[in-house]
């Protein structure tokens, strides 16, 4: 992945904040009957578009936006040292995540029906990024652990 398409490395912290805010907002809204982002009495032009005067709650959209934007920033932020090996790990992790995501999706197509399938399809937007982040971070962890082991062995000898 070319570095020009990646966010700065400090964007990872903003991504983590947005992701956690989206998840916390989701948990709060699932356990509470309060609606936070409600647009009461839509304007007449919007009412004619929807064919009814109604109130609209945007909690779900904001939760999904916060979570998705946080995951994108987490997934596509540069490492502090972005060399060819990291680029290769990133590319391999993305390919692996696409394979796993669509295997899971293919299984769900046959195992789920109706509204549960629709809900999974909505969450499937996020699973590709989640699989990528987990795989990439795991590979970075293994790389760093291997490097620290080599450094310790070099110091001891």
Average pLDDT, integer, range 28-51: 66
pLDDT on residue 61:
85
* pLDDT of 46 strictly over 80: no
* pLDDT of 51 strictly over 80: no
Concatenated DSSP letters of the chain: --GGGSBPTTHHHHHHHHHHHHHHHHHHHHH----SSEE-S--HHHHHHHTS---EE-HHHHHHHHHHHHHHHHHTBPPSS--HHHHHHHHHHHHHHHHHHHHHHHHHHHH--HHHHHHHHHHHHHHHHHHHHHHHHHHHHHHHHHHHHHHHHHHH-
Average pLDDT, integer, range 48-63: 67
Domain ranges of the chain: 1-78, 80-157
* pLDDT of 26 strictly over 80: yes
Split at pLDDT 50, 70, 90, the class of 30 is confident
Instruction: State pLDDT tens for residues 94-105.
Output: 999 999 999 999
pLDDT on residue 55:
55
**pTM of the predicted structure, to 2 decimals:** 0.78
């Amino acid at each position: 992945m070319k570095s020009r398409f990646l966010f700065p490395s400090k964007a990872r912290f903003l991504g983590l904040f947005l992701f956690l805010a989206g998840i916390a907002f989701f948990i709060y809204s699932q356990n509470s009957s309060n609606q936070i982002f409600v647009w009461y009495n839509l304007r007449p032009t919007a009412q004619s578009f929807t064919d009814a005067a109604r109130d609209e709650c945007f909690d779900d959209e904001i939760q999904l936006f916060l979570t998705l934007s946080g995951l994108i920033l987490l997934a596509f932020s540069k490492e502090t040292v972005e060399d060819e090996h990291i680029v290769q790990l990133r590319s391999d992790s993305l390919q692996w995540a696409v394979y796993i995501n669509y295997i899971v999706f293919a299984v769900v197509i046959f195992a789920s029906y109706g509204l549960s399938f629709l809900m999974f399809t909505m969450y499937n937007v996020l699973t590709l990024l989640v699989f990528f982040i987990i795989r990439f971070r795991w590979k970075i962890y293994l790389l760093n652990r291997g490097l620290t082991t080599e450094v310790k062995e070099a110091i001891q000898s």
